[in-house]
């Protein structure tokens, strides 16, 4: 039996809800990424050019730290990584986490939540971080979206 883990970062709980839907569909475990320095609402104010999130997203080398220990992936066959879409791409903390994970020999899929972006730019970032073997990602918001995507990537 295939064992799956859903790793996700969520600030407004939209990505958390989708991650939980995926976990329920697959009987997967979940792991929530937490920022070592929690984000405040002002940090996330995209109207402020100098907000923390804007500065991080504009800096390709930004690697915000996460809190705690990452999960042991040795017992999992599939890893699904979820994130909100910030400025068309994953928050930079996703880069930090992926760069610390050993995803070799794992089936990997990524997904996001977004108020209006497609997954095109995020997919490019994920392909660079993980490699071209990563399954095609998608912006998800509903149970039906989740079911269709899991079927399309042959995870269900």
Mean pLDDT of 30-50: 96
pLDDT tier, 7 (very low <50, low <70, confident <90, very high otherwise): very high
At residue 1, the pLDDT reads: 80
The predicted model scores a pTM of 0.96
Average confidence (pLDDT) over 28-48:
96
Helix axes 92-100, 120-130, angle to 10 degrees: 30
CB count in 10 Å sphere of residue 16: 18
Q: What are the CA-CA distances from residue 23 to residues 31, 63, 100 (Å)?
A: 10, 27, 22
Instruction: Give the pLDDT score at 129.
Output: 96
CATH of 4-152, one of 3.30.2130.10, 3.40.50.300, 3.40.50.2000, 3.40.50.360: 3.40.50.360
The 10s digit of each residue's pLDDT in 108-147 is 999 999 989 999 999 999 999 999 899 999 999 999 999 9
**Mean pLDDT in residue range 89-100:** 98
């Amino acid at each position: 039996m295939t064992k799956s883990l859903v790793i996700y970062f969520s600030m407004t709980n939209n990505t958390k809800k989708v991650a939980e839907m995926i976990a329920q569909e697959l009987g997967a475990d979940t792991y929530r990424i937490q920022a070592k320095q929690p984000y405040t609402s002002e940090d996330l104010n995209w109207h402020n050019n100098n907000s923390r999130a804007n500065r991080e997203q504009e800096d390709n080398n930004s690697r915000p730290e996460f809190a705690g220990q990452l999960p042991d992936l040795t017992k999992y066959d599939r890893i699904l990584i979820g994130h909100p879409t910030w400025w068309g791409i994953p928050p930079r903390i996703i880069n930090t986490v992926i760069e610390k994970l050993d995803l070799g020999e794992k089936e990997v899929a990524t997904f996001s939540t977004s108020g209006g972006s497609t997954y095109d730019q995020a997919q490019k970032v994920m392909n660079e971080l993980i490699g071209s073997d990563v399954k095609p990602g998608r912006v998800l918001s509903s149970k039906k979206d989740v079911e269709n995507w899991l079927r399309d990537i042959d995870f269900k």
